[in-house]
């Protein structure tokens, strides 16, 4: 049994499944490489030939627009051929198993699978069964992980704050259902951020979250004090089984980011959001569109980060 299913025998990145347990050098390698890809996306021809002749399969068992699109753009800018499959509407509904779907695509000469699945662990299962030359990137699995989002968040923070030491990062909202929060917390810990806060109602905090090395706040005002970075999470209505919240209005009152609450953070604090935003629920429009918002740059950086991830793993 291999210790880390993401790494090959030489300790190089073979699949990207989670930021949990990913060595610091590899995280930095991805961020540094993404820096160079950012310059590619500013040119006349926004393409490099690295993945020419390779086939990237976007396997989305769960709907997504932004993530799927940015993966597709990233793969195309690496000159790969991209095939998009919305599996929720195809074979799976006819009863084909996950591994059978993958085996069939593998028989079509796949090189890289980008996988989103509602079940935590699905990309790990696929990674265990693919051929040695095939690679898997987790594009979000259940509540577990969304490593490329975590990496693009780290890239964004480094872009604006230059250095991780001395930072206070506040993650606000529905922590319980958020794979984005989990991935970001692991990444921030790996890069040595001294103060990570999670802010949200008790019902939306995963039990034992403090063991991840974060400070837990249920009072948003206290949690935002002197923060350098504020990461707002989407209220995930579709993942809420029972009555975890009285109402969206109630949530907005206590945990929505308004200009007035933003003023409690440091004056140069940046505001991030993984999207899609519920304006007027977790974030007010005046903040989302305000001077401290870096929500749209996050999307742009996401392409360079995904180019870096795919070109590093496909070369290993």
Partner 1 sequence: MSALLPDAEALIRELCDRIRPDLGPRSALVGIHTGGAWLAERLHRELGLATPLGILDVAFYRDDYARQGLARDPKRSDIPFAVEEQDIILVDDVLYTGRTVRAAINELFDYGRAARIALAVLADRGGRELPVSPTYCGARIPVPEGKRLRLVRGTEGRLALELHDAG
Residues binding partner 1 (CB under 8 A) = 12, 29, 32-33, 35-40, 43-45, 47-50, 311-312, 315-316
Q: How far is the CB of 313 from partner 1 (least distance, A)?
A: 9
Q: Between residues 47 and 129, which has the closer beta carbon with respect to partner 1?
A: 47
Helix (H) or strand (E) holding 66: helix 66-77
Please, what is the Cα angle at 139 between 51 and 147, to 5 degrees? 95
Q: How far is the CB of 315 from partner 1 (least distance, A)?
A: 3
Q: Between residues 32 and 163, which has the closer beta carbon with respect to partner 1?
A: 32
**Beta strands across the sheet bearing 112-117:** 81-86, 55-60, 112-117, 135-141
Q: Between residues 214 and 304, which has the closer beta carbon with respect to partner 1?
A: 304
Q: Between residues 24 and 47, which has the closer beta carbon with respect to partner 1?
A: 47
Cα separations in angstroms, 100 against 95, 103, 167: 10, 5, 46
CA atoms of 152 and 77, how far apart (whole Å): 17
Q: Between residues 49 and 241, which has the closer beta carbon with respect to partner 1?
A: 49
Q: How far is the CB of 136 from partner 1 (least distance, A)?
A: 17
Sign, CA torsion 287/288/290/293: positive
Q: How far is the CB of 82 from partner 1 (least distance, A)?
A: 18
Q: By C-alpha distance, which of 298, 215, 229, 219 is closest to 265?
A: 229
DSSP letters, 166-219, are T-EEEEES--TT-HHHHHHHHHHHHTT-SEEEEES-GGGS-TTGGGGT-EEES-
Helix (H) or strand (E) holding 249: helix 248-255
Please, what is the Cα angle at 135 between 16 and 129, to 5 degrees? 105
Cα separations in angstroms, 281 against 52, 136, 169, 288: 43, 34, 21, 11
Q: How far is the CB of 314 from partner 1 (least distance, A)?
A: 8
Q: Between residues 35 and 195, which has the closer beta carbon with respect to partner 1?
A: 35
Q: How far is the CB of 263 from partner 1 (least distance, A)?
A: 36
Q: How far is the CB of 72 from partner 1 (least distance, A)?
A: 19
Q: Between residues 85 and 154, which has the closer beta carbon with respect to partner 1?
A: 154
Q: By C-alpha distance, which of 292, 234, 294, 285 is closest to 264?
A: 292
260 three-state secondary structure: helix
Q: How far is the CB of 131 from partner 1 (least distance, A)?
A: 16
In which residue are the tokens 């989407």 written?
A: 234
Q: Between residues 43 and 94, which has the closer beta carbon with respect to partner 1?
A: 43
Q: Between residues 46 and 253, which has the closer beta carbon with respect to partner 1?
A: 46
Q: How far is the CB of 215 from partner 1 (least distance, A)?
A: 34
């Amino acid at each position: 049994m291999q210790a880390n299913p993401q790494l090959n025998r030489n300790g190089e990145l073979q699949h990207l499944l989670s930021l949990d347990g990913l060595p610091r050098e590899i995280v930095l390698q991805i961020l540094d490489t993404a820096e160079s890809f950012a310059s590619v996306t500013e040119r006349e021809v926004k393409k490099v030939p690295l993945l020419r002749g390779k086939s990237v399969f976007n396997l989305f068992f769960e709907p997504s627009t932004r993530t799927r699109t940015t993966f597709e753009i990233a793969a195309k800018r690496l000159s790969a051929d991209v095939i998009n499959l919305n599996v929720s509407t195809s074979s799976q509904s006819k009863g084909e198993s996950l591994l059978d779907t993958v085996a069939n695509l593998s028989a079509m000469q796949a090189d890289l699978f980008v996988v989103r699945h509602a079940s935590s662990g699905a990309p790990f299962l696929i990674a265990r069964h693919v051929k040695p030359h095939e690679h898997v990137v987790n594009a979000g699995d259940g509540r577990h992980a969304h490593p490329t989002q975590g990496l693009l968040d780290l890239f964004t923070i480094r872009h604006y704050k230059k250095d991780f030491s001395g930072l206070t990062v506040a993650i606000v909202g529905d922590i319980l259902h958020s794979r984005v929060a989990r991935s970001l917390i692991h990444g921030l810990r790996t890069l040595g951020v001294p103060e990570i806060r999670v802010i949200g109602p008790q019902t939306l905090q995963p039990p034992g979250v403090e063991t991840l090395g974060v400070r837990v706040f249920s009072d948003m005002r206290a949690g935002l004090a002197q923060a350098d970075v504020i990461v707002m999470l989407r209220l995930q209505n579709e993942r809420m089984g029972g009555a975890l919240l009285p109402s969206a209005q109630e949530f907005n009152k206590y945990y929505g980011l308004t200009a007035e609450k933003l003023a409690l953070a440091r004056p140069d604090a940046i505001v991030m959001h993984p999207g899609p935003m519920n304006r007027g629920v977790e974030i007010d429009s005046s903040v989302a569109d305000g001077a401290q918002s870096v929500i749209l740059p996050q999307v742009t950086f996401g392409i360079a980060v995904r180019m870096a991830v795919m070109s590093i793993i496909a070369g290993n």
